[in-house]
Amino acid sequence: MSGVIESIRVLLGADPRRVPKKEMPEEVRKLHEHKFSDKERIENIRIELAHKKRKQMPEKKRRLRWAVLLAVNLLFVLSYHLDIQLLEGALTASRFMGFHMADLNSALQVMLAFKHVVINLLIGTTTVFVLWWLLGGRTFCSWVCPYHLLAEWAEMLHLKLKEKGLARDIQFDRRARAWIWLVFVILALVTGYTVFETISPTGIVSRALIYGPGIALVWVGLLLLFEIFFSRRAWCRYACPIGLTYGIVGATSPFRVHYKLENCYHEGECRKVCLVPHVLDLTIKGRSPALEADVGADCTRCLRCVDACPTGALTIKYKGLDKLM
């Protein structure tokens, strides 16, 4: 339970807690002390990074994730235009083969705005809650959200421009996301209107794909330009209430990215590719509180860290089942 509480605390914007050495189990403390003086480990890091520079390995899991994300959103488009009634609606609210599904954050906004719970909305919310609890809440962000994919492509451009000194990466306080979530909750309650849905890039892009583009795409374009030139993945990292909602849902999910301290060289390749690098603070030399640990609730399960890790220190784990990969 303490691990879940800490995970949610970090999700809400707090810095990951650094466990004092005296509070660590003896075997963990000894392993950390060994790694600080292990010259062989340092040499292995140099060899591994040199190999990676010479031969860039394909990110297979990233390609799979992009394929799944595109397939899900394309299914909405085809269902609407071909009228096959397989996946009707949009990401905010839909029906899959007759089963009602409702985005949790959107459903909350609707319930607060109209002060009324419709049975279909309740059914849809329950269905989606169970689904994303099983898959890990923020898995939605990296495997389904269409804005996430656009932002990921924008991030690739941002990194190239930053190398040339043409872009900045302004850091914001991560606690802002929790405050933004609260502001939109209050606005829905007070105004009787789902204010967030008018500016949600996830909803805007989803509806534009299905029903055609609208003026709201200008807002999405401005967000992407801000992320390209001023702040890497700013919306997803510091603002999106949807990510916070699904992070809380997935805090106890059985699907996790799992870390093994003994296998780690602490070269930091995983944190370089992570959307939310604070969840991988446990990979920093001397930080891990245990020999094995699960990455926290803010993890989007994009699995880029798993591909980037040269030693297998990061793997996929589904509690109660054998490792999937």
What does pLDDT average to over the chain? 90
Asked if residue 155 and residue 210 are part of one domain, the reply reads yes
Angle CA(7)–CA(111)–CA(150) in degrees, nearest 5? 55
* Residue 211 placed within a domain: yes
Same domain as 141, residue 7: no
Is a pLDDT exceeding 70 seen at residue 54? no
Instruction: Please determine, for residue 14, whether its predicted confidence score (pLDDT) is greater than 60.
Output: yes
Domain assignment present for residue 56? The answer is: no
Lowest mean pLDDT among 1-15, 34-48, 104-118, 176-190: 34-48
Residue 287 CA, chain-centre distance (Å), reads 22
Is 55 a residue whose pLDDT tops 90?
no
Q: How many helices (H) and strands (E) does the chain have?
A: 16, 6
Instruction: Determine the Cα–Cα distance for residues 145 and 206; give it in Å rounded to an integer.
Output: 8
**Residue 257 shares a structural domain with residue 159:** no
What is the per-residue DSSP string for 206-252?
HHHHHH---TTHHHHHHHHHHHHHT-TTHIIIII-HHHHHHHHHGGG
Q: Are residues 129 and 227 in the same domain?
A: yes
The 3-class SS string of 88-128 reads EEECCEEEECCEEEECHHHHHHHHHHHCCCCHHHHHHHHHH
Is the pLDDT reported for residue 322 higher than 60? no
Do residue 39 and residue 65 come from a single domain? no
- High-pLDDT (> 90) share of the chain, %: 66
Query: The domain containing residue 38 runs over which residues?
Result: 2-50+253-318
pLDDT > 70? residue 106? yes
Tell me, yes or no, whether 220 and 173 share the same domain: yes
Reported pTM = 0.90
pLDDT at position 57: 67
* Residue 296 domain flag: yes
- Identify the domain boundary among 217, 248, 279: 248
Q: What angle do CA 159, 160, 163 make, to 5 degrees?
A: 85
Q: What DSSP designation does 165 have?
A: T
- Among 198, 215, 248, give the residue marking a domain's end: 248
The pLDDT of residue 324 is above 50: no
* Residue 229 confidence (pLDDT): 97
104 is a domain residue: yes
Q: What is the tally of structural domains in the chain?
A: 2
pLDDT, residue 53, reads: 67
Q: Which of 221, 248, 275 is the last residue of a domain?
A: 248
The verdict on 169 and 231 lying in the same domain is yes
CA distance 74 to 216: 20
* Predicted confidence (pLDDT) at residue 71 exceeds the cutoff of 70: yes
Sign of the Cα pseudo-torsion (253, 148, 76, 220, in order) = positive
Instruction: Report yes or no on 112 lying in a domain.
Output: yes
- pLDDT, tens only, 224-250: 999 999 999 999 999 999 999 999 999
Distance in angstroms (rounded) separating the CA atoms of residues 86 and 79 = 6
90/222 same-domain check = yes
Note the pLDDT of residue 169.
94
Same domain, residue pair 187 and 88 = yes
227 and 264 inside one domain? no
Q: 324 in a domain, yes or no?
A: no
In a domain, 73, yes or no: yes
In the block, tokens 């810095």 appear at 15
Query: pLDDT tens digit string along 141-186?
Result: 999 999 999 999 999 999 999 999 999 999 999 999 999 999 999 9
Residue 20 has pLDDT above 80, yes or no: yes
My answer on whether 191 and 168 are in the same domain is yes
Residue 55 falls inside a structural domain:
no
CA atoms 200, 205, 206, 212: torsion sign: positive
Q: Are residues 130 and 165 in the same domain?
A: yes
Q: Is the pLDDT of residue 325 over 50?
A: no
Neighbouring-strand partners of residue 88: 95
* Residue 19: band (very low, low, confident or very high) from pLDDT cuts 50, 70, 90: confident
